[in-house]
Amino acid sequence: MAAEESLTDTVGFLLGKLGQQVNVRFADRLAPLGLRPRHCAVLELLSGGPLAQLELAKAIGVTASVVVDMLDELEQLDAIRRVRDTADRRRQLIELTPTGRELRHQTLSLARQNDEELLAAISPAEAAALRHTLGRIAAATGLIAK
């Protein structure tokens, strides 16, 4: 008789549980910097240049009020600044400060540490294959650009 299948054996369940665990560990690493994982998306998006608050909200997939809260928190850390758009004075653009660029660099380093910890149980070849496969799945689902 075959063993009964279990929800906990599904890829979705395993990825979800691993994601929760990785996010908690990443949050613990970010805490001394005064950051949370949600701030990292803003720092990453702004690394490409200034964006309007609504553009940030759309790109991250949150409401405008959530972005305002995130920006207030990042502004307290001197990571971002709000500037008036010279082309449209009604609009505010958000840009990284030098401190924000340094924080982004530090978050990338911490994310790499998180990856190393997570992938320590598999070989470098398996880790590369996993990254490739997850990238393909993320692209196919629209999570990242192809």
The 10s digit of each residue's pLDDT in 24-65 is: 999 999 999 999 999 999 999 999 999 999 999 999 999 999
Residue 89 has pLDDT above 60, yes or no: yes
Round the CA-based radius of gyration of the chain to a whole number and report it.
19
The label of the residue with tokens 């949370």 reads: 36
pTM: predicted TM-score of the whole model, two decimal places: 0.86
The label of the residue with tokens 């964006």 reads: 51
Strand order in the sheet with 51-52: 51-52, 92-96, 80-84
Report the pLDDT value the prediction gives residue 114, as an integer from 0 to 100.
96
Share the mean pLDDT of the chain. 93
Cα–Cα distances (Å) from 141 to 12, 45, 125, 135, in that order, read: 13, 20, 24, 10
DSSP category for residue 143? S
Query: Coil, helix or strand for 82?
Result: strand
pLDDT band per the 50, 70, 90 thresholds, residue 88: confident
